Amino acid sequence: MKKRIGVFFGGQSGEHEVSRVSATTVINSLDREKYDVVTIGITKAGEWLLYEGPVELIAPGEWEKKAREDLERDPGHFAFSVLGSAGHKLTDIIDFALPIMHGPNGEDGTVQGVFELLNIPYGGSGVAGCAVTMDKIIAKEVFANAGLKQSPYIAFSSEDIGKGIEEKINSELEYPLFIKPANMGSSVGITKVTREEDLLPALRLAAKYDSRIVAEHGIDAREIEISVMGNEELSFGAAGEIIPAAEFYDYDAKYNNEESKLLIPAPLSEEQLKAVREMAGKAYKAAACCGFSRVDFLMDKSTTEIYINEINAIPGFTSISMFPMLMMETGLTLPEITDRIIELGYERYSLKNNR
């Protein structure tokens, strides 16, 4: 019998729209000879809706209207209450979950926790891997513990703003600075600060998104990324390089500015590529990642020193996103990549349950 793969898209984070585009790529790549595909959209308000319309309506957001119309016709059938008894049970309609959501409530272990509770195998990292990589402060502590080089940083609470944290940052870190909310993505809430007088507004902006904030030294860096797949044994995609069209790779440069360039493969020496792979593997294991991830680095332009920046547990999966392109560079096709993600999900599930 064909496995019923539930692809989850949307979600409650600022990356809802990106998720719809990522999920569309994944849905289209799933081999219909092998799988029955079930699509479940999570609205910005957090409702889980079974969506049975055309895939093309997912990216532009029109899926939601259709899902709601179906819901009105047949309330028992189309709505999910994650923990309540209303509606259909998720376990009745899917065998495997593929969450393709970015940011909080999707990529941070929460949705993964639901699949754990329901005992559904799922693709990608588990609760711990997602939670660790979503929180930039915890991720940095984990990377430090694994002996990985990173830019000097200070972690603090939004409560500390105006109570001495500015002075501490100014005395301990060198400008330029990057001020980041700990739990976001797509560069939302991040400011590059080059002058002391701009620090406070940057802190206040970050505080709008999270009470946990990081200040770190900004490196004049090349941005190098690598895709990783596996549970125990890891395989690597090519390394890629991003040349942002802006001061840094902010939201606009990521999604709107077509001048941002991707170099695949990244022009690196054998030695540098080896170092990137080694660091990526260490970081992936240290952060308890499973299935697949994209690991991002900053390479100092003057010293060529490589620093780890972050891991994305559920990286962008649009047809022009780094993760799939770096994997495809090694000869895999998109359907082979999604197949592998499903295989690895089942492998992790059986490792966990058969002991």
Ligand X SMILES: Nc1ncnc2c1ncn2[C@@H]1O[C@H](COP(=O)(O)OP(=O)(O)O)[C@@H](O)[C@H]1O
- Contacts with ligand X by CB under 6 A lie at 151, 178, 180, 184-187, 190, 216, 218-219, 221, 223, 244, 248-249, 296, 298, 309-310
Cβ closest to ligand X, residue 60 vs residue 152: 152
Instruction: Give min distance, CB of 230 to ligand X, in A.
Output: 22
Residues listed for the chain:
355
Instruction: Give min distance, CB of 351 to ligand X, in A.
Output: 29
Tokens of 41: 């959209």
Instruction: Give min distance, CB of 213 to ligand X, in A.
Output: 12
φ/ψ (deg, to 5) at 281: -65, -45
Instruction: Give min distance, CB of 317 to ligand X, in A.
Output: 15
Instruction: Give min distance, CB of 13 to ligand X, in A.
Output: 11
- What is the 3 state secondary structure string of the chain? CCEEEEEEEECCCCCHHHHHHHHHHHHHHCCCCCEEEEEEEECCCCCEEEECCCHHHCCCCCHHHHHHHHHHHCHHHHEECCCCCCECCHHHHCCEEEECCCCCCCCCCHHHHHHHHHCCCECCCCHHHHHHHHCHHHHHHHHHHCCCCCCCEEEEEHHHCCCCHHHHHHHHCCCCEEEEECCCCCCCCCEEECCHHHHHHHHHHHHHHCCEEEEEECCCEEEEEEEEEECCCEEEEEEEEEECCCCCCCHHHHHCCCCCEEECCCCCCHHHHHHHHHHHHHHHHHCCCCEEEEEEEEEECCCCCEEEEEEECCCCCCCCCHHHHHHHCCCCCHHHHHHHHHHHHHHHHHHHHCC
**β-strand pairing of 212-217 with 153-157:** antiparallel
Cβ closest to ligand X, residue 313 vs residue 341: 313
Instruction: Give min distance, CB of 309 to ligand X, in A.
Output: 5
Instruction: Give min distance, CB of 40 to ligand X, in A.
Output: 25
Q: Which of 57, 39, 12, 24 is nearest to 320 (CA)?
A: 24
Instruction: Give min distance, CB of 336 to ligand X, in A.
Output: 27
Indicate the residue whose CB is closest to ligand X.
249
Instruction: Give min distance, CB of 267 to ligand X, in A.
Output: 18
Q: Which residue has the tokens 């990521």?
A: 254
